[in-house]
Amino acid sequence: MQFKDYYAVMEVARDATQAQIKQAYRRLARKYHPDVSKEKDAEKHFKELGEAYEVLKDAEKRAAYDQLGTGHRAGEEFRRPSDWDTGYEYRGDGASPDDFFESLFGRRYQEADERGSRDHHAKVQVDLDAALNGGARSFTLRMPEHDAKGRLVTRERVLNVKVPRGVRAGQQIRLAGQGAPARGRRPAGDLYLEVSFEPHPLYRVEENDLYLDLPVAPWEAALGATVRVPTPEGSVDLRLPADSQSGGKLRLKGRGLPCSPPGDLYVVLKVVLPRADTDAAKAAWQALAEALPFDPRSALGA
C-alpha cells in the first residue's frame, strides 16, 4: 500500500488552518468536478480530493493522519505501525474512502453523540493473571487532547484500571468520562478498553477455556500413568488412561477462566520421544521395534 500525501492533494501546507483547507477544497472541487472539468483524469483527482478533505477537515482524523504520516513520502510503501491505535480508535461511517483511507481508519470513527461528546475505544493487553484473579493494571495510552492552539493532538496518558476477575478476550472495560472532552460544558465521552491477553508460557485462551500442552513419555501414554499437572489454582494429579494418543484431550472442569459460566482447562497430550543419542538408547529402541512391530502408515494404503 502506498502512502498518500493529503496535504499535497489539497495543495496546502501541513500547518494550514481549517479555513484554508476548506477554501482549497472548494477551489479544487470546481476545478476537477467530473461534470464540468476538462482536466485530464478529473474524476480520479476529484475522488482523491474528496478523500483528502474527509480526513483533513476533521481535527481528530487529521491528528491521527499526521501521527501516521511522519517520515513517509507520497508513493512510498506505507506500513501502519502495529500499535498505532493503542490509546484510541475511530468508529463510524465516513464518506466512501478507498483502500488507503480505510486501512488507516476503517470504520473506526464515531461522530459526536447527542450529548456532544466522543467515546473512544482502545485495545489493551492484560496478563492472564489479571483475568484469573482480577486486580489493578497500569496502561499507557495515546489519547487525543487539545493543544494551546485548539488543535487536537495525541498525547500519552497513564491510566490505572481495575481489571475484573473473569474478563474475557474481546470484552470491554468502560471508563466513564475518560473519553474525549465534549463541547462547552457537556460531559466528556467514555473510554472503552477492549481486552486481549498477553501470551502465557503455559496456557492458551479460547473463549472461557484454557488449554495446556502436556508432554508425556511414550510409556506413560501407552500404559497409563498419574502425572502432576499445573493449573491456575495449583498443581493437581491427573490420571492418563492407557493407550492415550498424542493430541488427545483431558478436561478439568471449572478450571478455566472464572467467568459465568466458568471455563474448563483442557490438557492436550503431546507424546515426547526420548532421543536415541547413545548406544544404550539405540539398543532399547531396536529391542522395542522387534518386540512391537507395527506399521504407523497402514491407513495410507501405500
Domains of the chain, by residue range, sit at: 6-105, 120-197, 203-290
What is the third-level CATH fold of 6-105? Helix Hairpins (1.10.287)
Query: What is the value of pTM for the model shown?
Result: 0.59
Q: At what angle do helices 42-56 and 59-69 cross, to 10 degrees?
A: 100
- How much is the pLDDT for 258? 92
- How much is the pLDDT for 123? 86
Residue 74 Cα to chain centre, angstroms: 28
- How much is the pLDDT for 100? 54
Greatest pairwise CA separation for the chain in angstroms: 89
Residue-wise pLDDT tens for the chain (302 aa)?
A: 567 888 999 999 888 888 899 999 999 988 888 878 888 888 888 888 988 888 888 776 777 777 665 544 544 454 544 444 444 343 333 334 445 555 554 444 444 444 445 777 888 889 999 899 988 898 888 776 666 766 667 778 888 889 999 999 888 898 888 776 655 566 777 888 889 899 999 999 999 999 999 999 999 999 999 999 999 999 999 999 999 999 999 999 999 999 888 999 999 999 999 999 999 999 999 999 999 888 888 888 87
- How much is the pLDDT for 2? 61
- How much is the pLDDT for 248? 95
6-105 against 203-290: fold identical = no
Question: Which amino acid type is present at position 17?
Answer: T
Quote the CA–CA distance of 257 and 266 in Å, as a whole number: 12
**Which CATH architecture is the domain 203-290 placed in?**
Sandwich (2.60)
Q: Is 295 exposed, middle or buried (0-12, 13-18, 19+ CB in 10 A)?
A: exposed
- The superfamily (CATH) of domain 120-197 is Urease metallochaperone UreE, N-terminal domain (2.60.260.20)
Cell of 39: 482536466
Which residues fall within 8 angstroms of residue 240, CB to CB, at 6 or more apart? Answer: 216, 220, 221, 224, 225, 226, 227, 250, 269
Backbone angles phi, psi at 4, to 5 degrees: -115, 130
Q: Is 226 exposed, middle or buried (0-12, 13-18, 19+ CB in 10 A)?
A: exposed
- At 122 the three-state DSSP class reads strand
- How much is the pLDDT for 41? 85
CA nearest neighbour of 189 among 297, 299, 78, 92: 92
- How much is the pLDDT for 106? 46
